[in-house]
Structure 1
């Protein structure tokens, strides 16, 4: 009886795919599920609030220029903007949105793993390794992090692949079109690879297998595609010797768009290895057509990445600003991680040595799991597994303790004072690296690094950003944040006055006490000072 119960329990466990996500989910939770704004949380939440409250920061320069930074993620905004009716606490909204997005993605990955016929141990090992290694290889893309439209776009793509594997191509087509409403750049490159692979895989069933699904996708995404085209039309005269595309690609986003920055040729080789391993790992029971589609899909993504690398060599920056690297960077690595453990299991089960040949199938899988763990994880996880600086355990605990105790920092005290004591149409000269300043103070700023336009308005953004540095930058991308941190607090009185006249900044927020006659102190605390700028 005990053996029967044990066997039933083992069978039950092996069918509960969600259990395989727990190891990786634990890493995600203590890394990223903290009561703080993550990379793009604050800028996304500003957009969500504007969706229901157009009067919010009405004097912001981007709004006055009729720019909407999240116009290309309309459906994401429609889903999560109502959270502002529930609470005005941005941190709480960020956590709720993060949890909802993660739950959806975990659900989708479970469905995809079942459709791929992955063993539970392969899902557990592969997902854990993929999360631990940062979810991508070099271009800085991710799927699990803060709540963004691109996360749901990737979720739609996973569902589309799952539907196709279950012989429901029309539902797959609808989901491909729906992805555009969540995030146009992600949908553009993933859906392009999807249909390029489908074109070859369904060449003998061209009408029903390719044409009809493609028409369905076009019909669903067409309105969003037209909005995207109008968005890209905005232009502006650029400074001498500098192009708009250069500002977007080389100055602001080289960590995502410039393969010279993230060693694109080396990553291309790594992606070839990953795509090859994933192709070898796809379950034979899927059938030739499905395995062909999945393999072609990965190599189409690989081709997009290669086109981006070649475009950089040809200095064709217009292509690079559409993010041709992000999909391959995260998806090829994802499929390789999920499928490689099962390939190792199959290889072990075929070994003819007596000590392996005597293993039962279950024993072979357990052994394969252990070997896969060693091969995948041990060489790449750094020594000092439980160090707080490595795995953010200290940050997780302290941030939640501070949040539960409602501890107020000098920064939050200052933003609260600004919110309560300055006119709503005030424009603040604030540190451009503080992405959450606008959200916390509810006041417009002269410029912010995180709210960068991806069209012609990038020219004015660049000019404003240079003004905060006291002159042109000598670095690129996120390194400019370090550079401006060295200079912003030491802007002289003439530079602050010039920003005030050119861009309307009425207050100067700084960490350094100032004594210039044109700067009048209005509020200060232990770490920050706020000065009114006199004409």
Structure 2
């Protein structure tokens, strides 16, 4: 479908190979400008949506005495390369500082990788900034399964720069280091790197197999495979040794209850499906118009590979959930995030193809007006899209993690968490509102369970289900029922959001917060006595 018209590299390859050495100042300036674009796109103080989830886990990995009774933090993890890389900083800096350090490092790495990749496709100064902006806008508005690249720091934010590096190395016909780069990506996030290996394999079949026979790539494939074990082995251990029926229940809980918006196509919104189809259609058009360029053909073949993976996920969804009605098999297969890479790769290929078409090859004079109009339309649409995104973030009443977790009163929430840090024991355990996700981040105390913090290890996932079921709407429970939960889960305090539960009547336990009985804080804290 995307076979190039010739196998040898374009003449551009010779100039671009040495451009980072000859033009390191433009490279550095453009990379910095793209990094600032990423920062503008995020546009908010922390925490971002997944940062409490990942960084609290990393902190507890390096300091097991921190929140020792927290259920989620005590469960086995899967992102140890991320913990080893960034987690040790939590021994010396507060979590928000570590988050910003991780963001800046990952954004700089992604920006430098993008500038390099974009320049290989479109060797003109400053154009990489435009292609990065187009990528951000199409990814933000055109995703299907909620995947993102630029945001808070977590494992995948370190994985994606190595995916871009691998694409650039493949364009230069350096396939062995490309596979090693994807091995590093897999070590940080096994699914990001693993699916990228499959998609780049498709690109090799379409574009690279004549210039790089399989036997010549064995060294890189073996090296990358060995490195990827750092991410693969912990992932495999998450379900090791459990009976089949427990694994089946855990998989269905994970796929169909907790994360269907990422994993199950028929549970994704129609708007998201339409937007993704529109982006994919635009990519197909521009991929066809730039098919004669070998470098772009390789990137487009990578996007085609990601769509092939998504097509398999779609087939699994339809066959297992509708034709066979086998939700056990469906959950077992759909848990591998079949739609993750296409959310990123299709906008990536579209942005580079658009950039090449509009800013690249010389146009005939009679087409110069049309070209200028096209450039103006694309830049205007990109600017509007980014402006809307930035404006929404700058005017948001609270950080993304709290907004997504439905914290009813952000200022009151922070005040309560600050009181907890100052007035309760560091090893105390709290029963907290299920839908919030930043209590550990802000209060730095253990909690029983939250909807956001779902373990990935199968046995712990079933424990999460039990805890969530037993504590659901705990404001309606009696004093004796709360006392029973306290004995089972070693609860010291209970937090109640009266704004979310206006019918709450209270218990026979002493209320310790707010201290002022005339306070209008929507949050109350009760100390559990006599477990």
TM-score by length of 1: 0.78
Aligned to 1:187, which of 180, 185, 193? 193
- In structure 2, distance between residues paired with 1:398 and 1:503: 30
- In structure 2, distance between residues paired with 1:430 and 1:445: 7
2:439 alignment partner in structure 1: 437
Aligned-pair CA distance for 1:112: 0.8
- In structure 1, distance between residues paired with 2:69 and 2:362: 65
SS in structure 2 of the partner of residue 449 of structure 1: coil
| 1:391 counterpart = 2:373 | no
Change beyond 3 A, Cα 1:21–1:391: farther
Q: How does 1:349-428 map to 2 (within 5 A)?
A: 349-350=363-364, 352=366, 356=368, 368-374=374-380, 376-377=381-382, 381=385, 390-395=391-396, 409-428=411-430
1:306 alignment partner in structure 2: 311
CA deviation profile, 1:396-423 (whole Å, cap 9, x unmatched): 9999xxxxxxxx9433332233234333
Aligned-pair CA distance for 1:201: 3.5
Segment drifting more, 461-470 vs 99-108? 461-470
8 Å contact from structure 1 (residues 35, 92) kept in 2:
no
- In structure 2, distance between residues paired with 1:24 and 1:236: 49
| 1:318 counterpart = 2:335 | no
Aligned to 1:505, which of 491, 494, 498? 491
2:301 alignment partner in structure 1: 296
Aligned to 1:529, which of 524, 527, 530? 524
8 Å contact from structure 1 (residues 22, 124) kept in 2:
no
- Structure 1 residue runs of 5 or longer lacking an equivalent are 1-11, 400-407, 471-487
| 1:37 counterpart = 2:47 | yes
Aligned to 1:342, which of 334, 350, 356? 356
CA deviation profile, 1:86-107 (whole Å, cap 9, x unmatched): 32x3222212221111111111
TM-score by length of 2: 0.79
2:327 alignment partner in structure 1: none
Aligned-pair CA distance for 1:43: 1.5
- Structure 2 residue runs of 5 or longer lacking an equivalent are 1-21, 321-329, 401-409
SS in structure 2 of the partner of residue 16 of structure 1: helix
- In structure 1, distance between residues paired with 2:192 and 2:317: 20
2:153 alignment partner in structure 1: 147
- In structure 2, distance between residues paired with 1:516 and 1:157: 53
Change beyond 3 A, Cα 1:367–1:24: farther
SS in structure 2 of the partner of residue 508 of structure 1: strand
1:474 alignment partner in structure 2: none
1:446 alignment partner in structure 2: 448
Change beyond 3 A, Cα 1:209–1:177: same
- In structure 2, distance between residues paired with 1:348 and 1:372: 18
8 Å contact from structure 1 (residues 523, 531) kept in 2:
yes
Aligned-pair CA distance for 1:232: 3.0
SS in structure 2 of the partner of residue 150 of structure 1: helix
- Whose RCO is larger (CA < 8 A, sep 6+)? 2
RMSD, aligned α-carbons:
3.6
Q: How does 1:60-459 map to 2 (within 5 A)?
A: 60-62=70-72, 64=74, 67-69=75-77, 71=78, 73-87=79-93, 89-117=94-122, 119-120=124-125, 122-135=127-140, 136-204=142-210, 205-233=212-240, 235=242, 243-262=249-268, 263=270, 266=274, 269-270=277-278, 272-280=280-288, 282=290, 284=292, 287=294, 290-315=295-320, 316-345=330-359, 349-350=363-364, 352=366, 356=368, 368-374=374-380, 376-377=381-382, 381=385, 390-395=391-396, 409-456=411-458, 457-459=460-462
SS in structure 1 of the partner of residue 65 of structure 2: coil
1:402 alignment partner in structure 2: none
Aligned-pair CA distance for 1:460: 1.8
- In structure 2, distance between residues paired with 1:161 and 1:51: 33
8 Å contact from structure 2 (residues 455, 464) kept in 1:
yes
Change beyond 3 A, Cα 1:207–1:134: closer
SS in structure 1 of the partner of residue 267 of structure 2: coil
SS in structure 1 of the partner of residue 97 of structure 2: helix
Aligned-pair CA distance for 1:429: 0.3
Alignment size in residue pairs = 477
Change beyond 3 A, Cα 1:30–1:497: farther
Segment drifting more, 249-258 vs 452-461? 452-461
